[in-house]
């Protein structure tokens, strides 16, 4: 999720979870065009390790040699795995023949996975993320097998097609079809809204793992199912703001990032109703918004 799940947000989230609740996380995708990333560039996206939860680096691109060379750079970092994004449905990805554009070319997808696996060998697992298809889900099995044939050690399947983007309707049977088509573990993705959906998806589809994206922006505790207070929710957002400040972000950027989260936030009942949410979103003074969030974080409720 480009522009949100940066190292600052990821660090604040990971420190609130145990490995048994949250098995791993990924960076925002690094868009590889025709020049590979250097190890130092990869390291900045990866950020410092904060606990024992593994964090992988996600790459997106179609230039095979540049992706393979970037995989070499990933090997020189503390990344726990390398993930290849074949699911991004944005116009920018399609224009660059990357992301979900490669769902139209299973053999090319397989070749890219193989090129990165050959670089990483046994030193670093290579995983892949696909959507159920480009315009339809007729070839989800073929796409899953292509990733497996290329050497991916795990496959994440987002149950929507590229053309469906992020529609509210989801079809988890597409994940089931991928599970039945390959021997490698499958991680299901798409349509998870609450903690109970994690087990429901595993039970319904047979997938081994579940990846959560947008729902973790609304409730960062979705992985554990922990019910938190409004103060704890505000503390999370305030800590994220401080982490952004330490990384060099000014008040305007920090407030904008908080608004991205507040637009969908549900954790801790920090947002009481639509009018409360609108009041946060309508605040034009970045400093005032940041001060208000700090105040909410410091509120103590006495019994």
Indicate if 116 belongs to the active site. no
Token pair for 272: 């009481």
If 0-12 CB within 10 Å is exposed, 13-18 middle and 19+ buried, where does residue 165 land?
Answer: exposed
What spatial distance separates the first Cα and last Cα of the chain, rounded to whole Å? 40
Catalytically annotated residue among 8, 88, 116, 187: 88
The residue among 217, 197, 200 whose CA lies nearest residue 258 is: 217
Residue 174: count other Cβ atoms within 10 Å of its Cβ.
24
**Cα–Cα distance measured from residue 177 to residue 58, given in angstroms and rounded to the nearest whole number:** 24
Q: List the beta strands (DSSP E) in the chain.
A: 25-32, 55-61, 82-86, 126-131, 154-158, 186-189, 209-211
Residue 133, classed as helix, strand or coil, is coil
Catalytic residues: 88
């Amino acid at each position: 999720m480009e522009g949100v799940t940066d190292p600052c947000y990821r660090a604040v989230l990971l420190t609130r979870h145990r490995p048994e609740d949250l098995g791993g996380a990924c960076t925002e995708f690094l868009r590889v065009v025709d020049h590979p990333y250097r190890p130092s560039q990869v390291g900045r996206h990866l950020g410092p390790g904060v606990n024992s939860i593994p964090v992988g680096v996600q790459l997106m691109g179609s230039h095979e040699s540049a992706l393979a060379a970037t995989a070499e750079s990933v090997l020189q970092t503390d990344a726990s795995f390398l993930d290849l994004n074949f699911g991004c449905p944005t116009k920018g990805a399609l224009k660059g023949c990357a992301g979900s554009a490669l769902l139209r070319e299973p053999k090319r997808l397989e070749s890219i996975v193989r090129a990165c696996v050959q670089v990483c060998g046994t030193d670093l697992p290579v995983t892949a993320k696909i959507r159920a298809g480009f315009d339809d889900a007729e070839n989800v099995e073929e796409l899953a097998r292509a990733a497996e044939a290329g050497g991916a050690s795990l496959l994440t399947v987002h149950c929507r097609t590229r053309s469906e983007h992020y529609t509210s309707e989801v079809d988890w049977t597409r994940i089931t079809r991928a599970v039945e088509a390959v021997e490698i573990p499958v991680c299901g993705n798409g349509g998870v809204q609450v903690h109970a959906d994690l087990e429901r998806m595993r039970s319904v589809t047979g997938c081994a793992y579940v990846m959560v994206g947008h729902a973790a922006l609304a409730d960062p505790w979705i992985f554990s199912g922990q019910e938190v207070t409004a103060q704890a929710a505000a503390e999370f957002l305030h800590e994220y703001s401080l982490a952004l400040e330490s990384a060099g972000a000014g008040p305007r950027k920090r407030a904008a990032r908080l608004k991205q989260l507040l637009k969908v936030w549900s954790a801790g009942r920090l947002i009481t109703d639509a009018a409360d949410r609108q009041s946060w979103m309508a605040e034009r003074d970045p400093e005032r918004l940041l001060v208000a969030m700090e105040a909410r974080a410091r509120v103590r409720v006495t019994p």
